[in-house]
A and B are shown apart, each in its own frame.
Chain A
Amino acid sequence: MSGVRVLVGTRKGAFILTSDAKRERWEVDGPHFAGWEMYHLKGSPADPNRLYASQSSGWFGQIIQRSDDGGKTWHQPGTPPGEPTTTPEGMPKAESNKFVYDTSPETGKPLTTHQWYDGTPRPWEFKRVWHLEPSLTDPDVVYAGVEDAALFRSTDGGQNWKELPGLRGHGTGPYWQPGAGGMCLHTIILDPSDPKRIFIAISAAGAFRTDDGGETWRPINKGLFSQYIPDPTAEVGHCVHHVAMHPSRPGVLFMQKHWDVMRSDDAGDSWREVSGNLPTDFGFVIDVHAHEPETIYVVPIKSDSLHYVADGKLRVYRSRTGGNEWEALTKGLPQSDCYVNVLRDAMAVDSLESCGVYFGTTGGQVYASADAGDTWAPIVRDLPAVLSVEVQVLP
């Protein structure tokens, strides 16, 4: 019988939650990497036992961890367990923690400046990996979205990382500004129908697309309106919080912007607002039902000044019409005295016949619905603040 594995990154470690396909009884394993900020964990679609994890700390910097056995054991890919830590020549092995912007004349771009919050120029400085996106077909290929915003790729299972500098250096980079959480590249979507097409999003620069495997990029922000920036319809500068796509329709994208829920039917060339009857259209997460490409989920947040749900009620909103018409999903979720947030990478859906939906809160709860959002129950209630949630269906 198949089962599910939920990978949870928190402010103080990672947790792995497992269940059979009924999704009623859960085993909680963790904390892994106790005390570290775990921004994201994700499994390879090509090999569910291959997991990647971003471990970071303001004190000690960035660590990349990898598991080859579904999270039972972990290692830093540059120093596999049981092997010598140096080469026969005495040199340290690959430095899997090393993220250095590519400024080489042959392949890179000069490291210019981006804008600081006050508009002054600021040098690019690597801080952490926000999001890891394994290849759809090769377990050893994985992309990393980092702060300060750039895209890196490893083709050797996370041992070595190389920037795709065409994004940071394509021209608008000097105008990018950080959002409140830093200038992070937080969303990476690989197009299953076209291996050369990748979508990414940056707070607060906007969404970008490559059609040539990451060599060249262009902003895809037409139709976004952000009244809190000097030019509300500028080519870049929009605080895109998250983007989601259904794999069967890679040209259709759904976006939770800072304010506004948006939709594109032309792979991001143009966007239109689909916030409709949402009580507030500020929020972070957005996701698409595994089997119904017009069914989408958001968690409205009161405002950018408050960063908690409205009216003390934790409500997931579902649209079955691809936006505009939304219904509140509340059964099993707290409907009084609740003041949590749900961060941008903290929602996921599984692909079982009855689609499961999962999300984690800054209050440390991870909620699951085995019936596409109709009813909810907590898997755990008292974890550290949840930063990310991903789910895998296991054979």
Chain B
Amino acid sequence: MIRVALPYHLRNLAKVDDEVTLEVNLDADGQVTLRSVLDALEAKYPMLRGTIRDHDTQKRRPFLRFFAGGEDLSHESADAPLPGSVATGAEPLVVLGAIAGG
């Protein structure tokens, strides 16, 4: 089970109060990737399609970032394996607005 932590406005849009949990298909190498997690997230919550990555290009929206286990995954390939702690559900994949304050 994969955990995903969403920002406030996306939790409201998806009508969830807390982290979401997902069953994620493994890729050909048996790995969990950012793409497979986002595919599963959008399948379960289609109202989030287009809000995290572009409908057409599937690129990360510019003002969002991805973190897991204290690592910034925003610029990693969508097909790179996610850290083991995310794959095991020990830690969530964090989707975060790309502004620290203001």
Q: Is there a chain B Cβ closer than 8 Å to A63's Cβ?
A: yes
List, in ascending order, chain A residues with CB within 8 A of B98's CB.
59
B9 engages A57 (CB within 8 Å):
yes
- Mask, B75-102, CB within 8 Å of A = 1, is 0000000000000000000000110000
Q: Is there a chain B Cβ closer than 8 Å to A60's Cβ?
A: yes
Contact of A63 among B7, B13, B52, B54 (CB under 8 A): B13
- Mask, B32-47, CB within 8 Å of A = 1, is 0000000000111111
Distance between Cα atoms of A79 and B47 in the complex (Å): 7
Binds B, one of A92-100, A179-187, A296-304, A313-321: A92-100
List, in ascending order, chain A residues with CB within 8 A of B52's CB.
60
Q: Is there a chain B Cβ closer than 8 Å to A58's Cβ?
A: yes
Q: Is there a chain B Cβ closer than 8 Å to A61's Cβ?
A: yes
B47 engages A60 (CB within 8 Å):
no
Known: A97-B51, A97-B55, A98-B55. A59 touches B9 (CB 8 A): yes
Quote the shortest CB–CB distance from B101 to chain A (angstroms): 14
A92 engages B42 (CB within 8 Å):
yes
B64 engages A86 (CB within 8 Å):
no
List, in ascending order, chain B residues with CB within 8 A of A61's CB.
50-51, 54, 61
B46 engages A86 (CB within 8 Å):
yes
Q: Is there a chain A Cβ closer than 8 Å to B24's Cβ?
A: no
A92 engages B50 (CB within 8 Å):
no
Contact of B49 among A59, A90, A95 (CB under 8 A): A95
List, in ascending order, chain A residues with CB within 8 A of B46's CB.
78-79, 85-86, 92-93, 95
A92 engages B9 (CB within 8 Å):
no
A76 engages B47 (CB within 8 Å):
yes
List, in ascending order, chain B residues with CB within 8 A of A58's CB.
63
Q: Is there a chain B Cβ closer than 8 Å to A326's Cβ?
A: no
List, in ascending order, chain B residues with CB within 8 A of A97's CB.
47, 49-51, 55
Q: Is there a chain B Cβ closer than 8 Å to A250's Cβ?
A: no
Distance between Cα atoms of A60 and B43 in the complex (Å): 17
Which residue of chain A has the shortest Cβ distance to B63 in the bound complex? A59
Distance between Cα atoms of A156 and B45 in the complex (Å): 21
Q: Is there a chain A Cβ closer than 8 Å to B56's Cβ?
A: yes
Q: Is there a chain B Cβ closer than 8 Å to A364's Cβ?
A: no
Quote the shortest CB–CB distance from A57 to chain B (angstroms): 7
State the interface size on chain B (CB cutoff 8 A).
Answer: 24
Q: Is there a chain B Cβ closer than 8 Å to A18's Cβ?
A: no
List, in ascending order, chain A residues with CB within 8 A of B8's CB.
35
State the interface size on chain A (CB cutoff 8 A).
Answer: 23
Q: Is there a chain B Cβ closer than 8 Å to A130's Cβ?
A: no
B9 engages A36 (CB within 8 Å):
yes
Quote the shortest CB–CB distance from A98 to chain B (angstroms): 5
Distance between Cα atoms of A367 and B10 in the complex (Å): 33
Q: Is there a chain B Cβ closer than 8 Å to A62's Cβ?
A: yes
Contact of B50 among A36, A93, A95 (CB under 8 A): A95
Distance between Cα atoms of A93 and B49 in the complex (Å): 11
Which residue of chain A has the shortest Cβ distance to B46 in the bound complex? A92
Quote the shortest CB–CB distance from B51 to chain A (angstroms): 4
B43 engages A92 (CB within 8 Å):
yes
**Of B44, B45, B46, most A-chain CB atoms within 10 Å:** B46
Quote the shortest CB–CB distance from A109 to chain B (angstroms): 16
A95 engages B13 (CB within 8 Å):
no
- Mask, A66-98, CB within 8 Å of B = 1, is 000000000010110000011000101101011
Known: A95-B50, A97-B50, A100-B56. A59 touches B61 (CB 8 A): yes
A86 engages B50 (CB within 8 Å):
no
Where the two chains meet, the residues of A that have a C-beta atom closer than 8 Å to any C-beta of B are 34-36, 57-63, 76, 78-79, 85-86, 90, 92-93, 95, 97-100
| Pairs across A and B, CB under 8 Å, 19 listed | A34-B12, A59-B7, A59-B61, A59-B64, A59-B98, A60-B13, A60-B52, A60-B61, A60-B64, A61-B61, A62-B50, A63-B47, A78-B47, A85-B46, A86-B46, A92-B43, A92-B46, A97-B49, A100-B55
A sample of 17 more A-B contacts (CB under 8 A), given A61-B50, A97-B50, is: A35-B8, A35-B9, A36-B9, A59-B98, A60-B9, A60-B51, A60-B61, A61-B61, A63-B47, A63-B51, A85-B45, A85-B46, A86-B46, A92-B49, A97-B55, A98-B49, A98-B50
